[in-house]
Amino acid sequence: MNDKPESVYDNERLVSNYDKKQLADGHVKLMEQNQDLVYRLRERARIRRQIPGRKSVQENKPDRIADLLEEAAIEIEQLQRRVQHLKYGDPLDGPMIKMFRED
């Protein structure tokens, strides 16, 4: 009986299927954490803006920390989109779209 995991060649190196699953699971977990982080940043900004005792709320002025939280959430989303674009390419570069382009 062979106890070694089944392996395949991936990018010219030997990678076990177990390792590939671990890498995929890690990527999914990271994406979920980033999405969770974006949600938490936005939620914290929303809460800060609604606290009646905050000076910025009382004076009807912008909350600079809440603005920074929103800005961070936006930046994370933009970076996520950039990574997706670099990883998977432009969704408008599919074979059907290329047929109609006049490059």
Model confidence pLDDT, tens digit, residues 27-66 = 566 666 667 899 999 999 999 999 999 999 899 999 999 9
Write out the chain in H/E/C secondary structure. Answer: CCCCCCEEEECCEEEEHHHHHHHHHHHHHHHHHHHHHHHHHHHHHHHHHHCCCCHHHHCCCCCHHHHHHHHHHHHHHHHHHHHHHHHHCCHHHCHHHHHHCCC
User: Which is more confident, 95 or 78?
Assistant: 78
pLDDT level of residue 26 (50, 70, 90 thresholds): low
Q: Does the residue 1 lie in any domain?
A: no
Domain count, the chain: 1
pTM: 0.55
Q: Does the residue 65 lie in any domain?
A: yes
Q: Does the residue 94 lie in any domain?
A: yes
Q: Does the residue 68 lie in any domain?
A: yes
Q: Does the residue 2 lie in any domain?
A: no
Look at residue 72 and tell me whether its pLDDT is greater than 90.
yes
81: containing domain: 7-100
